[in-house]
Chains A and B, each alone.
Chain A
Amino acid sequence: DVQVVESGGDLVQPGGSLRLSCVGSGFTFSVFWMNWVRRVPGKGLEWVANISPDGSMGRCVDSMRGRCSVSRDNAESSLSLHMSDLRSEDTGIYYCVAWDASAYWGPGTVVTVSS
């Protein structure tokens, strides 16, 4: 069975940092574009970052530029998102999405930025 599972969500103070992780199984992780998408209260779904299958191309959305980095380890079928200088508007449910001829979503991990 295909599984995508995120972890690392937490309550963080404004200005803090967080590292989210995702592990995929049941599919060939190394050929999939991997993505982070978040559901922000009152705003809907937003793309956060993506990374190419070989890891050579990774990018974050402009609102997180300089505060976000994405990486992957194909040997471990894992994806990471490191976020810094977190703001209240970064609060949301963060989903790991594997994208290729099929698309697989994880159940999400909750990030709350609040003092």
Chain B
Amino acid sequence: DVVLTQSPLSLPVPLGQSASISCRSSQSLVYGDGGTRVNWFHQRPGQTPRRLFADFSKRDSGVPDRFSVSGSGSDFTLEISKVEAEDVGLYFCMQHAHWPHTFGQGTNLEVQ
């Protein structure tokens, strides 16, 4: 199975500062059609996960442009600029280039 390794696992960020989360894959996430099948999710405490980006860079509806993604192949980064209190929670990456689809361990973002 494809292993997704996120870092850091815990990320304290002062309000208004930036945050960066890495997701590294054990295999390339470029699918046969040339698309990159990595997604990012955010889960606030007590809520269901919300997808932020699909297929590498397709921003889901309502996701602020403070959130951005970068990377290619097997190395990806989610960046959050000007962190707000509502950004607290678990962030995780997920791939669906290979079966079974797999998830990263998650990064717990704490807003200070």
Chain A residues within CB distance 8 Å of chain B: 35, 44-47, 50, 59, 61-62, 95, 101-107
Contact = CB atoms under 8 A, between A and B. Distances in A.
Across the A-B interface, give the 10 residue pairs with the lowest CB-CB distance, nearest first.
A103-B51, A105-B48, A45-B103, A47-B101, A61-B100, A47-B100, A105-B49, A44-B105, A107-B48, A44-B103
B54 interface: yes
Contacts of A102: 51, 60-61
Chain B residues touching A, range: 10 to 19
A44 B51 CA distance: 17
Contacts of B48: 95, 104-107
Interface in B81-107: 92, 94, 99-103, 105-106
A12 B18 CA distance: 46
Contacts of B102: 46-47
Interface of B: 39, 41, 48-49, 51, 54, 60-61, 92, 94, 99-103, 105-106
Given A102-B61, A107-B48, A45 B92 contact: yes
A44 B92 CA distance: 10
Given A103-B54, A103-B60, A107-B48, A62 B100 contact: yes
Contacts of B101: 35, 47, 50
Given A45-B106, A47-B100, A103-B51, 4 more contacts: A45-B92, A45-B103, A50-B101, A101-B54
22 contacts: A44-B103, A44-B105, A44-B106, A45-B92, A45-B103, A45-B106, A46-B100, A46-B103, A47-B101, A47-B102, A47-B103, A50-B101, A62-B100, A95-B48, A101-B54, A102-B60, A103-B39, A103-B49, A103-B51, A103-B54, A103-B60, A105-B48
B78 to A, nearest CB: 16
Contacts of B41: 103
A103 B39 CA distance: 11
